[in-house]
A and B are shown apart, each in its own frame.
Chain A
Amino acid sequence: MTKNLRTKASKFIDETTRISFKFDGKVYYGYKGDTLASALIANGIHLVARSFKYHRPRGIMTAGSEEPNAIVQVNGNSAYTEPNVRATEIEIYDGLEASSQNCWPNVNFDIGGINNILSPVLPAGFYYKTFMWPASFWEKYEYFIRKSAGLGKSPTKPDPDIYEHKHIHCDVLVIGGGISGIMAAKTAAENNFKTLLLDEKPHLGGSTIYQNSDFDKINNQSSSTWLENEISKLKDIKNLEIKTRTSVVAYHGYNFLLARENLTDHLPFDKKKNKIRQRLIKIRAKKVIVATGSIERPLIFNNNDRPGIILSSAIKKYSDYYGVICGNENVLFTNNDSAYETAISLFNKGIRVNAIIDIRDKVTSSIVNQAEKLSIKIYNSFTIVDTSGYRRIKNISIMKLSKDGQSVTGSKTQINCDCLGVSGGWTPAVHLFTQSGGKLKFDYDDNVFKPNKYPSDQISIGACNGEFDLDTIIKNFNNNVKTYLGIEKTSYENLNISASKEILKKNIWLLPSNKPIGKTKSFVDFQNDATAKDIKLALREGFRSIEHVKRYTTTGMGTDQGKLGNMHALGIISDTSGVKMSDLGTTTFRPPYTPLTFGTIVGRNVGEFFDIFRKTPMHDWHVKNNAEFENVGQWKRAWYYPKKNESMHDAVQRESKAARDGAGILDASTLGKIDIQGSDASEFLNRVYTNAWSKLAVGKCRYGLMLNEDGMVYDDGVTTRLDENHYIMTTTTGGAATVLGKLEDYLQTEWPELDVYLTSVTDHFATISVCGPHSKKIVKKIIPDLDLSDEKFPHMSFKNAKIGNIKCRVMRISFTGEQSYEINIQANFGKSVWEKCIEAGEEFNITPYGTETMHLLRAEKGFIIVGQDTDATLTPIDLQMDWIVSKKKYDFIGKRSLYRSDTIREDRKQLVGIITEDPKEVLEEGAQIVADVSKKPVEMLGHITSSYFSPNLNKSIALGVVKGGKDMLGKKLFVPMKNKVINVQIADPVFLDKDNKRLNA
């Protein structure tokens, strides 16, 4: 740290705590409270980066989030590395390592700087024009273009930090903790509004808090002292929550906003550990007061981008807030009074101000008069025509402006400087307002866009509303906030305000030079190296819309989103094309206002919380017994249980064989279960399913197909009549929630006359399905009192039972084609019953099987899986399930659609069985089925929906959908694969036990 670059102590900086950090590999020191930018300036470092396109040396230009140049890579190649961090925003901490971006081998000597020499042949649109031809060369160009694209390096290691989200609801959200925001938050909270105040800086107070001008006084106190006092009162106000280091990044409709809260970015590594780094706050506010202030504009002149050229207000902030001197030989260049404040503040600190260059004629405001009294040299009606100094500005050349401001006259005068402060006026920060859908209007007095039409319950106050003088801010505050909050008075109505009033305003978007524009480099967008010349070129080439010019020249497209230069780009377009600023409009301000890390967006939705998952009551048993799981809906379902080194195929073959030969056990708890009660329950089922339900006897089960309104199969399952007016419906695992939603929707909107109530009981029951020739013996051992004889308990029937004192329901239903019992018991007893079944079935080689084996077993029997064998384009008739569609019922969901000309076509795709000529050949699911492989283009008749090798039939079996398939039994077709064509034959979809002997055995 260079001692002579620190002014006297600043209360915002803790000079007792020295902090070491590295920049470009070299160790520097700063104080607690410094940003990387202020610490670098205090160490005499201005050259911090190279520009994107021309690799021109660039320095710190601002002291805020609008910074276009000083964006750095932090924390090297570690997992904590992050590109494009604004040096003006990051607070230094012990161990911080930062480095310049977009330069090689280093920022002082950058090979890419050759682009600056080549710049005359690299205008806007260079890439679009150059790399169009020859077309075949694109891949060669692409390699180099991609290599040079982007700034900084993305991290390659997983992010070790923790991020979180948070929802906050408030009556009033105040965005911005400057003087307007503080007054608004205090007023709202004192009037019983639950208020949230957010500010992106570590301290509240905006620019007023370090204001030391004698001209801005409130009640005869300096405005900073007055504001400090107001801030100190905030902590005693209940209803008020304050969050600093918190930046609103998005303002969506209906007052839904997103903010990023930085919690540990300013802390050293040892203090960050296990703490949340950043939090994404999701805010729903009844009212929003936008007090985001304004951003100082640069001026657009030849070579306006050298290190050491800094916004005038930033120089003042570095000096008054951080206690850092930007230069020892300062010159200020302005079109307004703000630069005079900076000049006087520097002068009062004993820092040299060589000159003020003012494009205006003689100005008589009190602050200008004060500067004159201090003998600061002022050049009125002058402009800078050039600057020099490669790695830091050395001097400027000025010339007299012509009357109309469009040219320069007289001779050049050279003034030495090591820091040039520029002030082109102020742009209200309307970004969030426009994100919310607000409409702007152009104010020709101040040359700014101001809020005009509010799209939601919100108001803009202070500088972001185009109010720049202290007395205007306070006066408008009292009027506007009182009306907005519906309150009678504020505590700020009788303040005594004194402030210097700006008398003369003059704006020239592009300042003239003594050189033709083609020979100048007047940067408009500093980050993307877009110049005034580029914008004019775009207009000459026919681009008219501001959105097109933006994309052609890349103006406003960097990480800063053109916060500094967008207004100038618009102004230059307006001046050049003759279109009024109000007609031109602005480009779209899109979220985020400042860049967000991916971590903040993702929050805790990483690792085990990436997605939610559901567990069955027997989940732990499956884990313990080596199950592999598959995701079905949100469930983790046991997929198969490999033994030792078994592959999935081997395990499934073993499980399938065991289920047919001995006994198998499946966890079927995931199936959706809906409890249906009411005197109209049977009628309800008649309307929901395609088949008839009124005559189903109590204690019996029936399979049903549910259609969509378009007649396509939507879901299926077995429904059991528990008593006269009580059913339990099962649905597919993945369809449970949507089926319940659909049925409840029908009851509430279409059939309110029905006395029917639905309640989900999916999670209440554990479902244990025991199948196979020995299943009856196993269930008998578990529930000895239950009469399992075929007469008393035939296939498709149900019994209430008890295991010990615990009631349960037993259904004899089967999805495998084997004799099968499903025990439905209260979930907390599920694991115990499962274990008892395993124990009871040990002598019969009971084998747990997963979903893959279940799929194979049901395919052998020709049972469909909705969602695998169907795809929302198949009717029951297409599935060759005509038998399930009642012809007698008056109506059911989808009935009408079954008789449309398209749904009755004979050549629709229909479900068929498919066998391969080579019984060992297993088809790929999804493979196409064709009749003629030589026909070009090949005519695709259908595709394979399910395919397995059946160990029980010792051959390959498949289900598929084929055009006109039901009349093609025995027909030979082909399945063309990448390296071969497989001969197949259409078969009956039921491959095993067509007479249901096993089911009823």
Chain B
Amino acid sequence: MLNYNSPINETKDFNNLKMSEESPIMKLVIRGKKREFISKVGKLLNILLPNEPNTSTVGNNISALWLSPDEWMIHSNDKIDKNNNMYPIEEDLINNIHKINLGAITDVTDQFTMIKMEGSQIYELFSNSCPFNFNDFKKKKGAVTQTIINKIDVIIHNKEINVVNLLVRRSFSSHLWSWLNDGAKRI
């Protein structure tokens, strides 16, 4: 049995801001251009892939984040079994999408670390180093953006008002976590 080591594995509570790593969460990047790809994914996942840029849809078990005109990230809404990385959803998609050349299915579960943030000070903290305009974004449930925080590429998913999933590449995650903690102390 292998041990599971997520990069952050802690929860921090600050003034109107709580942060923790959400792990393990299954994450897949799916890519395709054809209309059939969209409809097939919709049927397989029972979710409508968002076609409006920088938006997301949330299903019963998974969420889909728009990343580019032919690219989405889908992730499990709940934590998965850490002792098994064979995902039935991935297998279904590979068999019904990749194998018939409708598109690409790539497991990125550990490519990204998901940091869940809750509280009214999230965007105050982000604005310390993120040039993105969050004025409307933070009021829009389900909004998604790909931007930089402290010079690090991130995906921000405004899950609910004052609830954010921050996705960062695993190798950067401990550095970003350290930066978030440093700034959060003073907000």
Contact A761 B172 (CB under 8 A): no
**A335 contacts chain B at the CB level, 8 A cutoff:** no
* Chain B residues with CB under 8 A of A444: none
Chain B, residues 165-180, CB within 8 Å of chain A (1/0): the string is: 0000111101100110
Known: A604-B182, A609-B150. 14 other contacts (CB 8 A): A164-B128, A169-B133, A609-B182, A615-B7, A757-B71, A761-B107, A763-B169, A763-B171, A805-B83, A805-B86, A826-B85, A826-B109, A827-B170, A829-B3
Query: Measured between alpha carbons, how far is A16 from B1 in the docked complex, in Å?
Result: 72
**B161 contacts chain A at the CB level, 8 A cutoff:** no
Query: Measured between alpha carbons, how far is A678 from B31 in the docked complex, in Å?
Result: 10
Query: Measured between alpha carbons, how far is A836 from B2 in the docked complex, in Å?
Result: 9
Contact A828 B4 (CB under 8 A): yes
Contact A677 B106 (CB under 8 A): yes
Chain B, residues 122-164, CB within 8 Å of chain A (1/0): the string is: 0000011111111100000000000000111000000000000
Query: Measured between alpha carbons, how far is A608 from B112 in the docked complex, in Å?
Result: 22
* Chain A residues with CB under 8 A of B108: 759, 761, 764
Contact partner of B3 among A194, A274, A831, CB < 8 A?
Answer: A831
**Nearest CB on B from A980, distance (A):** 44
Across the interface, name the chain A residue whose C-beta is closest to B98.
Answer: A677
Across the interface, name the chain B residue whose C-beta is closest to A830.
Answer: B5
**B101 contacts chain A at the CB level, 8 A cutoff:** yes
Q: What are 7 A-B pairs with beta-carbon distances under 8 A? A: A166-B128, A604-B129, A759-B31, A759-B108, A763-B170, A764-B109, A826-B107
Given A275-B186, A609-B179, A616:B24 Cβ within 8 A? no
Contact partner of A762 among B2, B29, B111, CB < 8 A?
Answer: B111
**Nearest CB on B from A130, distance (A):** 49
Chain A, residues 943-979, CB within 8 Å of chain B (1/0): the string is: 0000000000000000000000000000000000000
**B120 contacts chain A at the CB level, 8 A cutoff:** no
**B53 contacts chain A at the CB level, 8 A cutoff:** no
Query: Measured between alpha carbons, how far is A186 from B169 in the docked complex, in Å?
Result: 44
**A484 contacts chain B at the CB level, 8 A cutoff:** no
The dominant DSSP class at the A interface is: mixed
Contact A604 B128 (CB under 8 A): yes
Contact partner of B110 among A166, A613, A803, A826, CB < 8 A?
Answer: A826
Contact B85 A807 (CB under 8 A): yes
Contact B178 A608 (CB under 8 A): yes
**A284 contacts chain B at the CB level, 8 A cutoff:** yes
Contact B183 A759 (CB under 8 A): no
Chain B, residues 4-15, CB within 8 Å of chain A (1/0): the string is: 111100000000
Interface size classification for chain A: 35 or more
Contact partner of B4 among A635, A803, A829, CB < 8 A?
Answer: A829
Query: Measured between alpha carbons, how far is A188 from B101 in the docked complex, in Å?
Result: 55
**Nearest CB on A from B27, distance (A):** 9
Given A612-B151, A614-B172, A763-B171, A675:B127 Cβ within 8 A? no
Query: Measured between alpha carbons, how far is A679 from B135 in the docked complex, in Å?
Result: 42
Given A806-B85, A828-B5, A832-B4, A759:B29 Cβ within 8 A? yes
**A631 contacts chain B at the CB level, 8 A cutoff:** no
Contact partner of B101 among A274, A282, A635, A679, CB < 8 A?
Answer: A679
* Chain B residues with CB under 8 A of A762: 111, 169, 171
Contact A276 B186 (CB under 8 A): yes
Identify which of residues 1-59 in chain B touch chain A, using a CB-to-CB cut-off of 8 Å: 1-7, 23-24, 29, 31-32
**Nearest CB on A from B135, distance (A):** 6
**A165 contacts chain B at the CB level, 8 A cutoff:** yes
Contact B23 A828 (CB under 8 A): yes
Identify which of residues 592-617 in chain A touch chain B, using a CB-to-CB cut-off of 8 Å: 604, 608-609, 612-617
Contact A614 B128 (CB under 8 A): no
**A568 contacts chain B at the CB level, 8 A cutoff:** no
Contact A829 B2 (CB under 8 A): yes
Contact B86 A615 (CB under 8 A): no
* Chain A residues with CB under 8 A of B83: 804-806
Query: Measured between alpha carbons, how far is A166 from B110 in the docked complex, in Å?
Result: 31
The 7 A-B residue pairs whose C-beta atoms are closest, nearest first, are: A677-B104, A614-B171, A757-B104, A764-B111, A827-B110, A169-B133, A757-B31
**Nearest CB on A from B91, distance (A):** 11
Query: Measured between alpha carbons, how far is A425 from B130 in the docked complex, in Å?
Result: 44
Contact B127 A167 (CB under 8 A): yes
* Chain B residues with CB under 8 A of A830: 5
**Nearest CB on A from B178, distance (A):** 7
* Chain B residues with CB under 8 A of A757: 31-32, 70-71, 103-104
Given A608-B178, A616-B171, A764-B111, A832:B5 Cβ within 8 A? yes
Identify which of residues 143-187 in chain A touch chain B, using a CB-to-CB cut-off of 8 Å: 162, 164-169
**Nearest CB on B from A239, distance (A):** 11
Contact A763 B112 (CB under 8 A): yes
Contact A804 B1 (CB under 8 A): yes
Given A677-B98, A759-B29, A831:B106 Cβ within 8 A? no
**B84 contacts chain A at the CB level, 8 A cutoff:** yes
Identify which of residues 82-120 in chain A touch chain B, using a CB-to-CB cut-off of 8 Å: none
Given A167-B127, A757-B103, A763-B111, A828:B6 Cβ within 8 A? yes
